Structure 1
Amino acid sequence: MAASSPGPTTVYGRPVTTEGVPNLYQGTSVSPWTPPVPGIDNLGISSVDTFAVPGVGEYTVDFDGYVRVVRSEPTSEEWATAEVYTNLIEMKMVGECEELGRITVTLNPECLSAGQIRTPFDPYAGEGPAAKACRMAVGAIFDMPKLGMKLVNKEPIILTIDDVRQIPPAGSPGKGQIYRMLPLHDSRRLDDAPVAYVTSLRFTMGGYTTQEAMARR
């Protein structure tokens, strides 16, 4: 019998099971202001990231790809009080620039990338349904063959989306909460000084995609 995987060594939030949870693709309907049943959302995503490489320069790269996000059972059937926990279970994004070459971004299997969708506290909220906020702490691998290395973040990348009126928040713009610069380390020498930094990250969560489109990435 094969040995079971030890699982992630870094956990950024609450684990969400994928067992028995259906995959959702293009054609899935989404109802605003309604907590959905659990699902694995297969979504397109695009991003504009800026990298700073000490002694080399700062470069902005456009990325395009997909993510797979598993959602928990909502804590309530009422939108106002419902919280939903999420895990990012797969990601692939590809971008390119002349100086850094082709860059592929995937999940770091050593990290559990996890998040939550909930209604933020607002003492001045008026009547009617309130929008929720989404956040996800992510561990990623930036494969940069032109630099001859794979870079990882030891601090989580915090991805946030405000004004969430439906789950999943397809079509919503978001941003990475990065204070000045997020260190990236050579995966072969994690205890050495960072070799690059992410200084800006802006993304848009796309709608449901197809298995065929994901396979072409």
Structure 2
Amino acid sequence: MREHGKASDSELPTVSRRGFLGGAGALAGGLAATGLVGGASPAGAEVCGLEWGPRVDLTGLKENFAPQEVKQFTIPAGGIDHLGLHSTDVFTIPGMGEFSVDFSGYFRVARAHPSTFDWAAAEVRVNIVDLRLFGRNEALGEIAVRLNPDILSSGQIFATKPREDGNSVAEEPKACRIATAAVFELRKLGLSVFNKEPILLMNEHITRVPPVDDPSGHALLFRLPLYNLQDPKGEPVAYLTSLRYGADHYLTEGEVRTIKERS
């Protein structure tokens, strides 16, 4: 019999401790070698070449669609979540100005099995394996965002910080970060741009896993350069200066299909 709230060794894989952005250094000279191309595959990160962190093994993970019950301060088994997503991004384009764009859509997130089912101690590896967002700006027209299929967008949900007495708090919010690679299609301008450095999506206030109906996400970045997909070795053509996002609730298979067909 196992201790209540703890997973047995036979149920859980070992959580890798390698560097979270271990593959990022390869970007300096290796982007062209990844074969960067447009059009994300349905599997997303499953076929990518460059890795911004550990890869989640999708074998045996259940595809989770609405309806789902997500309880506070409870760690579920691993799965692949299809969640609504919204964000507000701010771009600076030299010679044109600064533009704020509201996006909505969905993302598909693979969660590995947790290191333990104890809320405070649990660590969970995550990969974004699909991303579809759509927004519109009067000057820029419609903008579509998709996952860069050539870079693994990888992250982690962390254990909570111990108190001064060394004990973890049972119902303390958890933190998460995901190094994300995206392609922004500015269709009115006939321009697609991408990031060579990670968009580090962060949330320090997670009380549910996955963090459904949580508007408190933001990105750690400072004038993040965006490069022309058709001229990846050229100078940046735009900058991402701010990004705030929120994960919505689970979507049905039909809702996900409608979003993907819009792409």
Q: State the TM-score, normalizing by the size of structure 1.
A: 0.92
Between Structure 1 and Structure 2, which shows a larger proportion of strand residues?
Answer: 1
Measure the CA separation in 2 of the matches of 1:200 and 1:165. Answer: 24
Partner-residue secondary structure (3-state), 1:216: helix
1:204 equivalenced with 2:246 (yes/no): yes
- Counterparts of 1:157-176 in structure 2, within 5 Å, are 157-172=199-214, 173-176=216-219
Confirm or deny: 8 A CA contact 1:117 1:132 kept in the other structure. yes
Post-superposition CA distance 1:130-164 (Å, at most 9, x none): 21101100000101121212100000100011111
Post-superposition CA distance 1:148-196 (Å, at most 9, x none): 12100000100011111110011112001112x1100001111111000
Confirm or deny: 8 A CA contact 2:46 2:129 kept in the other structure. no
Partner-residue secondary structure (3-state), 2:119: coil
The aligned counterpart of 2:231 is 189
Partner-residue secondary structure (3-state), 1:212: helix
Confirm or deny: 8 A CA contact 2:103 2:134 kept in the other structure. yes
The aligned counterpart of 1:28 is 68
1:9 equivalenced with 2:49 (yes/no): yes
User: How many residues in Structure 1 have an aligned counterpart in Structure 2?
Assistant: 212
More displaced 10-residue stretch of structure 1: 190-199 or 123-132: 123-132
Partner-residue secondary structure (3-state), 2:236: coil
The aligned counterpart of 2:128 is 88
Confirm or deny: 8 A CA contact 2:85 2:106 kept in the other structure. yes
Give the superposition deviation at 1:212.
1.3
Q: 1:55 aligns with which of 87, 90, 95?
A: 95
Give the superposition deviation at 1:205.
0.6
Amino acid at match of 1:86: V
Measure the CA separation in 1 of the matches of 2:251 and 2:240. Answer: 27
Q: 1:19 aligns with which of 59, 67, 79?
A: 59
For structure 1, list consecutive stretches of 5 or more residues without a partner in the other structure: none
Give the superposition deviation at 1:215.
1.9
Post-superposition CA distance 1:189-212 (Å, at most 9, x none): 111110001111001110111111
Give the superposition deviation at 1:109.
0.5
Partner-residue secondary structure (3-state), 2:72: coil
**RMSD of the TM alignment (CA)?**
1.7
Measure the CA separation in 2 of the matches of 1:23 and 1:188. Answer: 35
Between Structure 1 and Structure 2, which shows a larger proportion of helix residues?
Answer: 2
For structure 2, list consecutive stretches of 5 or more residues without a partner in the other structure: 1-44
Measure the CA separation in 1 of the matches of 2:126 and 2:169. Answer: 28
Give the superposition deviation at 1:59.
0.5
Measure the CA separation in 1 of the matches of 2:169 and 2:83. Answer: 32
Q: 2:84 aligns with which of 38, 41, 44?
A: 44
CA 1:215–1:192 in 2, change beyond 3 Å: closer, same or farther? same
1:178 equivalenced with 2:221 (yes/no): yes
Confirm or deny: 8 A CA contact 1:119 1:131 kept in the other structure. no
Measure the CA separation in 2 of the matches of 1:126 and 1:73. Answer: 21
Confirm or deny: 8 A CA contact 1:13 1:115 kept in the other structure. yes
Confirm or deny: 8 A CA contact 2:120 2:170 kept in the other structure. no
Amino acid at match of 1:158: L
CA 1:120–1:126 in 2, change beyond 3 Å: closer, same or farther? closer
- Counterparts of 1:72-83 in structure 2, within 5 Å, are 72-83=112-123
Confirm or deny: 8 A CA contact 1:119 1:130 kept in the other structure. no
Give the superposition deviation at 1:126.
7.7
Give the superposition deviation at 1:9.
2.6
Give the superposition deviation at 1:122.
5.1
